Structure 1
Amino acid sequence: MSAARDMLCDTASAVFTEAASVGIGPVEDAGFGLLLVPEADGGFGGDWGDVNAVLWIAGHSVPDLPVAALILSGLGDVDPALHAAATVSLMAGAMGQALTLSIDHVNTRQQFGRPLGKFQAVQQSLAVMACEVRAVEAAAAALAARLDATGGDALAAGFEIAAAKLRANRAVGVVTSVAHQVHGAIGFTEEYDLHRVTVPLMRWRGTHGNDAHWAQILGRQVAGFGGRGLWEAMTARDA
């Protein structure tokens, strides 16, 4: 992470902590709506890697606030697919928070004289959950890199957007179910924080395209490439 992005993330964490109790105002005042606006136009001059990092923090700490919409508003009218791309980053952050809460809970909750985290069945469930979370984080990072490489062109990054949103959508079921299973009854209470990330995750699964929508788009692209074409397209992206 660059020094500039590191500083940006520190600022986002501080601003979102305040915004969690008072609303979107501090985020607007901090100028996050200018994140993608070029410096020559009075903006921050950030890239999609910056957006991914900031939205991960937003999904982790303030998933109920429209931070993604605020950031994209600085670009004016944008391709709807970019909203899907931003949602993937939010989902990655929210899944990361669900994992953190789950690990903390099983390490402190005692059952039969030992922490829940000492039971192999619980460990296996959390391992599966962690794999899903890391896969979505990797998909979000790859998507951001592709958008930066294409100058934010949603059409040119169409394959990555479809693949990342579909991967994130499909991870929601596993992540939310395991999180609530290991938490037991406390995970469903209003006072506990888990619902603050699992409810948005279930909502985001259908926002800006559900599983069927993105699977159809991705399937058509892959079929259009053909076997050799798909390999060439994938390796060209790694170059």
Structure 2
Amino acid sequence: MSEQRALLCNTAEAVFVEAAAGGIDPIEAAGFGQLLVPEAEGGFGGDWGDVFAVLRIAGAKIPHLPVGELIVGGEISRPVGAFIRVAQAAGAMDAALAMSIDYVNTRQQFGKPLGKFQAVQQVLAIFATEAAAVNVAGAAAAAALDKAGGDADVALFEIASAKLRTNKAIGQATSIAHQVHGAIGFTQEYDLHKLTGPLLDWRSDFGNDAYWADVLGGMTAKMGGSGLWQEVTRRG
């Protein structure tokens, strides 16, 4: 992570803590709406990798606030909206995973922590794999957007792949998170629902599984077998 991005993320962490209680105003006041605006025009001069990093934090800390919409501004296209939801989901899944690990390491059953049971370890390993896949797919989509100069249509292959992978991961992740928490995970008083609720909503936002599978399938079918391989390696 570059020094500039690290500073940006540290600022986001601090501002989002304030925003959790005060709403979107502190985020606007901190200038996050200028993140993609060039420095020559008075903005931060950030790139889509910066947007991904900030939205990961937003997804973990303030999933209920429209930070992505503030950063991008204006009318948001379906691909850009899909990218926003992927980034937020990456952060929310990481936070839910951390919460689940903490819970099973402190909750005792038969005289030892739940995290010591192999079955629990196995499902959390699946959860970690799903979260990692979303983070990698989202980072690839951000890199594609930067390479395309922010043109989401040019980066559509990576965005479609990331949103479809994220949609599928959300189903696994939310199920496991509630499973390892047991009954407490379903209560209003426990904070898990503040992450899993938005995650389930984001799964259908800006295109559900069927929509992005159709988009990706149509693109790959047009390329053909050898064409798909050439395109994947070119983009990679």
Structure 1 length-normalised TM: 0.97
Counterpart residue number, 1:198: 196
The gaps in structure 1 that reach 5 residues or longer are none
The RMSD of aligned alpha carbons is 0.8
Paired AA for residue 31 in structure 1? G
Paired AA for residue 172 in structure 2? V
Counterpart residue number, 1:7: 7
Partner of residue 163 from structure 1, selected from 148, 161, 182? 161
The aligned runs of 1:84-163 (5 Å cut-off) are 84-163=82-161
Q: After TM superposition, give the deviation of residue 129 of structure 1 in Å.
A: 0.6
Q: After TM superposition, give the deviation of residue 190 of structure 1 in Å.
A: 1.5
Between the aligned partners of 1:77 and 1:22, the Cα distance in structure 2 is: 25
Between the aligned partners of 1:77 and 1:195, the Cα distance in structure 2 is: 29
Counterpart residue number, 1:21: 21
Counterpart residue number, 2:181: 183
Counterpart residue number, 2:65: 65
Between the aligned partners of 2:165 and 2:150, the Cα distance in structure 1 is: 21
Q: After TM superposition, give the deviation of residue 78 of structure 1 in Å.
A: 4.4
Between the aligned partners of 1:123 and 1:105, the Cα distance in structure 2 is: 12
Q: After TM superposition, give the deviation of residue 41 of structure 1 in Å.
A: 1.5
Paired AA for residue 223 in structure 2? F
Between the aligned partners of 1:111 and 1:92, the Cα distance in structure 2 is: 31
Report the 3-state secondary structure (helix = DSSP H, G, I; strand = E; otherwise coil) of the residue aligned with 2:101.
helix
Paired AA for residue 26 in structure 2? P
Report the 3-state secondary structure (helix = DSSP H, G, I; strand = E; otherwise coil) of the residue aligned with 1:106.
helix
User: 1:173-211 CA distances to partner (integer Å, 9 max, x unpaired)?
Assistant: 100000000001111112211000000000000000000
Judge conservation of contact 2:69–2:76 (CA < 8 Å) in 1: no
User: 1:82-139 CA distances to partner (integer Å, 9 max, x unpaired)?
Assistant: 1111110001101011100000000000001000000000000000110000000000
Paired AA for residue 140 in structure 2? A
Aligned residues: 236
Report the 3-state secondary structure (helix = DSSP H, G, I; strand = E; otherwise coil) of the residue aligned with 2:179.
helix
Moved over 4 A (4+): none
